[in-house]
Amino acid sequence: MPGVTPGKWTRRWAERLPDVPLTAFQCGQDEQTAILRDGRADLSFVRIPVDREGLNVIPLYTELPVVVAPKEHEIALYDDEVPYQEIAAENFLDPEEMGGAKTGIEVVASGGGLMILPMSVARLYNRKDVVYRTVTDQPETQIGLAWLADRTDAAIEEFIGIVRGRTARSSRQPSVQEQQEKTKGRKTSKTSKNTAQNDGGAAGKGANAGKGSGGRRQGGSGPAAGKQSGKGKPGGGRTPKGRGPRRGRR
């Protein structure tokens, strides 16, 4: 939409998703939703109100109204705001009837009347031969972001998050969620691999432990059995000196 400056959002997109090209272009107010319905655009910055049938629309910010007048007009004497009551009797031009704000401001410059516009639009089409001031007691306009309800996808959700001010690390961003899923998958795969290796190592350790303990049992029982056998065998050990068997006596 004329007056909308999406540069900061498109720059953030380029920083976060450099491999996904994003194209921005300007359209007239009469096309702000038509470009969605005919497929020329995936999202559109619109000036609310709009026909919301089949659309999702989120409000973003409001714009102050200003009155545009020829440079010599008395509103130039006001430093800041002009009360609407002071200019209510003036001839006001309709931007749509003038063929748009740009053409309308040209008519204003020629002395054809005054025009009330959103401040961003007045700034966009500002000329040296006109002046504008904020005007009180007039409704503010609202800028929103619109897209077709049945075409919502991860890329659209990503851009919505950027416009809403979510950081590059916000867990609500689809790109972050995708990265988290990949990281989780790698960790799960690595854990499964380590578990399998640990199970194999534990089995090998158990076998070695069984072999070692068996050897200790066998090695320990042999000498112990021999020692016990030497002590407990009848007649085993040395006979006390001088106490041999008596012979020749009955």
* Residue numbers of the domain that contains 131: 65-139
Q: Give the pLDDT score at 165.
A: 86
Inside any domain, residue 184: no
The amino acid at 235: G
Burial pattern 8-35, b for ≥16 Cβ within 10 A else e, equals ebeebbeebbeeeeeeeeebebeebbeb
> Which two three-digit tokens encode residue 218?
């066998």
Q: Write out pLDDT tens, residues 3-44.
A: 999 999 999 999 999 999 999 999 988 899 999 999 999 999
Q: Give the pLDDT score at 189.
A: 58
Q: How many residues does the chain have?
A: 250
Residue 207: HSE in the Cβ half-sphere, 13 Å Cα cutoff? 5
Residue 236 CA to its chain's centroid (Å): 90
Inside any domain, residue 35: no
d(CA 162, CA 174): 11
Work out the pLDDT band at 188, boundaries 50, 70, 90: low
Q: Write out pLDDT tens, residues 52-111.
A: 999 999 999 999 999 999 999 999 999 889 999 999 999 999 998 999 999 999 999 999
CB 24 within 8 A of CB 145: no
Inside any domain, residue 86: yes
Q: Which residues contact 106 (CB under 8 A, 6 or more apart)?
A: 127
| DSSP letter assigned to residue 151 | G
Work out the pLDDT band at 167, boundaries 50, 70, 90: confident
Specify the higher pLDDT residue, 41 or 201. 41
Inside any domain, residue 228: no
Inside any domain, residue 133: yes
Residue 189: HSE in the Cβ half-sphere, 13 Å Cα cutoff? 6
Q: Which residues contact 61 (CB under 8 A, 6 or more apart)?
A: 142, 143
H or E element: which one contains 178?
helix 174-232
pTM of the model: 0.65
> Which two three-digit tokens encode residue 161?
């998050």
Specify the higher pLDDT residue, 139 or 186. 139
Inside any domain, residue 232: no
Strands, E assignment, the chain: 44-48, 55-63, 65-70, 81-82, 115-118, 130-135, 141-148
CATH number of the domain that residue 109 is part of = 3.40.190.10
d(CA 12, CA 8): 6
% of the chain at pLDDT higher than 90: 59
Q: How many structural domains is the chain composed of?
A: 1
Q: Give the pLDDT score at 152.
A: 86
Inside any domain, residue 71: yes
Inside any domain, residue 245: no
d(CA 204, CA 190): 21
Residue 208 has pLDDT above 70, yes or no: no
CB 43 within 8 A of CB 148: no
CB 144 within 8 A of CB 59: yes
